[in-house]
Structure 1
């Protein structure tokens, strides 16, 4: 049986606007090591809200979230931030790279924040991630010198720098053309199949979703059965 990386128990969330509006209802799911999972559904169905809860960036919800067997409820914000930085990597639709820093420095940032390694080792690790994504020749460039697809590969390298248990993506191919979307998909597939990386990707791209190992479909704040 594969190692369980993330688990939820009856997660629900409501907004008060000014009356209560339920956006997530009784979410129960499990993610194991090496799974490549997509989350699909119409706009407004709760996909991104769920992702922000699973990523610990939103802590205002009912129910329980376990990451690597540890319950997030009752943790202080510094404790949650530490777990987030150590266990989770993020890839968004927009890369959020900092143009005042080089590509290499951008990749280094989460590891510098975590403080697990010395700066020289972090630099070497960052360079190795860029090599793996065929971006090493661009290490000293600024992000504004790169194409959209290249920026997203740098964002993936940044997400990988701390060797997270899980990489989460919010529409990571949504801003890319077909060719670069395919490159990003192949990178994710290799991470899952060759390195045992767990990936949870929110996407509107049905072609992308059909090729992942499992698809979670959402509607009106709920997960539809069956999962496949």
Structure 2
């Protein structure tokens, strides 16, 4: 494993409606380059709450967060949005593809938004990602024409388009059957093993978690096991 890509230091999170509840309790966590790590625990244990903080989508917390060595605290929402788009790839339980757009257009969207490369180069990069995931032939198909497994592979290609430091997933196999869930797991495993892609995946699937590099177990807002 390489350098630390993601680091959380003493993260505390409170909800205040209707009464104050401590959702995360002194979370310390780091994830290294090329690591395939999962966060597991019962529903309500705080794993998705933690992921939203680690992804910079929730800034209402105590403690420190660093991504690729850069502190996230105190940055404007516009700055954080740029960091999310450039350094974090997201894969959710529901793919959030734009149905009337083609597969290629969906994959290109974060690249066009980042504006790091001209549109022609973004298209070439998107096609390369579709090739990598074995779905090049779907490039011109509309998103609504795809199966659930195909949609999730397109979502993974989209997550990879900007060469993110880390891919974060929230139950990415939760809406898939066993066959397609296994396919997505194998894609993640290959990304980590062959491309040194860092992955942090929230899942309730213990079988999925048991086959990753590290399982971080949460209970009542605390990390009980797997802390590095």
Could you tell me how far 1:149 is from its partner in structure 2? 0.2
Alignment of 1:154-173 (within 5 A): 154-173=154-173
Check if 1:75 corresponds to 2:101.
no
Alignment of 1:23-172 (within 5 A): 23-172=23-172
Could you tell me how far 1:101 is from its partner in structure 2? 0.8
CA separation of 1:196 and 1:226: change in aligned 2, threshold 3 A: closer
> Tell me, what secondary structure is at the counterpart of 2:38?
strand
Contact 2:218 2:225 in 1 (8 A): no
After superposing on structure 2, the runs of 4+ consecutive aligned residues of structure 1 that deviate more than 4 Å are none
Distance in 2, Cα, partners of 1:107 & 1:56: 22
Distance in 1, Cα, partners of 2:12 & 2:45: 13
Could you tell me how far 1:141 is from its partner in structure 2? 0.5
Contact 2:93 2:174 in 1 (8 A): yes
Could you tell me how far 1:17 is from its partner in structure 2? 1.4
Distance in 1, Cα, partners of 2:73 & 2:128: 35
TM, length-normalised to structure 1: 0.98
Match of 1:203 in 2: 203
Distance in 1, Cα, partners of 2:151 & 2:182: 15
Match of 2:11 in 1: 11
Distance in 1, Cα, partners of 2:225 & 2:79: 34
TM, length-normalised to structure 2: 0.98
| CA displacement, residues 198-218 of structure 1 (integer Å, 9 cap, x when unaligned) | 000000111000000000000
Could you tell me how far 1:2 is from its partner in structure 2? 2.0
| CA displacement, residues 105-132 of structure 1 (integer Å, 9 cap, x when unaligned) | 0000001110000000000100110011
Unaligned runs of 5+ residues in structure 2 are: none
Contact 2:11 2:26 in 1 (8 A): yes
> Tell me, what secondary structure is at the counterpart of 1:111?
helix
Alignment: residue pair count: 228
Contact 2:12 2:25 in 1 (8 A): yes
| CA displacement, residues 83-106 of structure 1 (integer Å, 9 cap, x when unaligned) | 111100000000000012100000
